[in-house]
Amino acid sequence: MGIFNSKKKNQFLAGNGEIQKTLHKNLEFTATEQYKLIRTNLDFTLPEDEKCPVIGITSAMRGGGKSTTAVNLSYVLAEKGSKVLLVDADLRIPSIAKKLEIESTPGLADLLRGKGAALSEFRSHLLDNWYVLPSGDIPPNPSELLGSVRMKSILEQLKEMFDYIIVDLPPVNLVSDAISISKYITGMIVVVREDHTEKKELDRCFRQLRMSNVNIIGCVINDAKTGKGSYGRYRRYRYYKYYKYYQTYQSSTQKGDKK
Ligand SMILES: Nc1ncnc2c1ncn2[C@@H]1O[C@H](COP(=O)(O)OP(=O)(O)OP(=O)(O)O)[C@@H](O)[C@H]1O
Ligand SMILES: [Mg+2]
């Protein structure tokens, strides 16, 4: 498969407006530190023998902060020196290209349709080792494409080229896309937005993921409300390792919850 066969010049960053304040370089110090903490925690939650972990980012419903988390996490991983690929696999309502002010094509959907593109096309100008694969043109059948053998083969090839692949996905409760691709994913992070994600929705999301045997490696609590006192603002972006958060969650929902 000729994914990276062209020698086209990098024309990655196309826009000139201001990138959102919630993203990578514009993050306040405390938020950056929280993303670095997530980066550190990944080392403890991912299998040691995995050469290039593929990390999916999903949530129960729309708007939890998946894409923001995917951008920032991939950025801090690249900042530390790893070669990282951020993939926009939300092929229904893609947002990575818009957030980063780059062209949305060529992208994942084009690769899935068998069209080639140069690796250099996906390199961000911000960091040499940070690559961003946008969605490409929106396809009519995202769930089938994401669960396809072709997707598997693309990921297998990409895994040979990167240290981490971060995959931004649609929400679990609305469409089957995240579940479809989950068989090719090393671990899934579930983003929960305080005051936004309802418990019953989160409950449904975890049930779906568990039923599909998805390896949930953690939860990111995004946009946590600031507490009172001088340390309050340090809580804006928080990350709890899966076993901590999920065991609490499990014990509160065990009753009547089929495994
Ligand atoms: N911690 C935060 N503080 C302030 N704004 C935030 C925060 N996290 C996300 N946002 C904003 O909320 C909006 C939704 O975030 P984002 O696009 O990351 O969510 P999403 O889960 O990917 O949404 P979708 O399901 O539509 O893809 C964006 O405008 C983003 O800038
Ligand atoms: Mg999104």
**Cα of 195 from ligand 1 centre, angstroms:** 13
Q: Which one of 19, 35, 68 would you pick to mutate in the ligand 1 pocket, going by the greatest count of ligand atoms within 8 A of its CB?
A: 68
At 194-233, the pLDDT tens digits run 888 889 999 999 999 999 999 999 999 988 765 443 333 4
Closest by Cα among 128, 44, 125 to 84: 128
Q: Domains, the chain, ranges and CATH?
A: 24-224+235-253 (3.40.50.300)
Question: Dihedrals φ, ψ of 145, to 5°?
Answer: -65, -45
Ligand 1 environment, Cβ below 6 A: 20, 22, 59, 62-68, 90, 93, 95, 171, 222-223
- Token pair, residue 52, equals 């290039």
At 40-69, the pLDDT tens digits run 999 889 988 999 999 999 999 999 999 999
Pairing of strands 54-59, 187-193: parallel
At 91-104, the pLDDT tens digits run 999 999 999 999 99
At 112-128, the pLDDT tens digits run 988 877 777 788 878 99
Query: Quick one: pLDDT at residue 29?
Result: 86
| Over residues 169-187, mean pLDDT | 97
Q: Which one of 18, 19, 22, 167 would you pick to mutate in the ligand 1 pocket, going by the greatest count of ligand atoms within 8 A of its CB?
A: 22
Give the separation between CA 24 and CA 38, rounded to whole angstroms: 14
* DSSP H or E run through 181: helix 177-181
Query: Quick one: pLDDT at residue 247?
Result: 40
Pairing of strands 238-241, 216-222: antiparallel
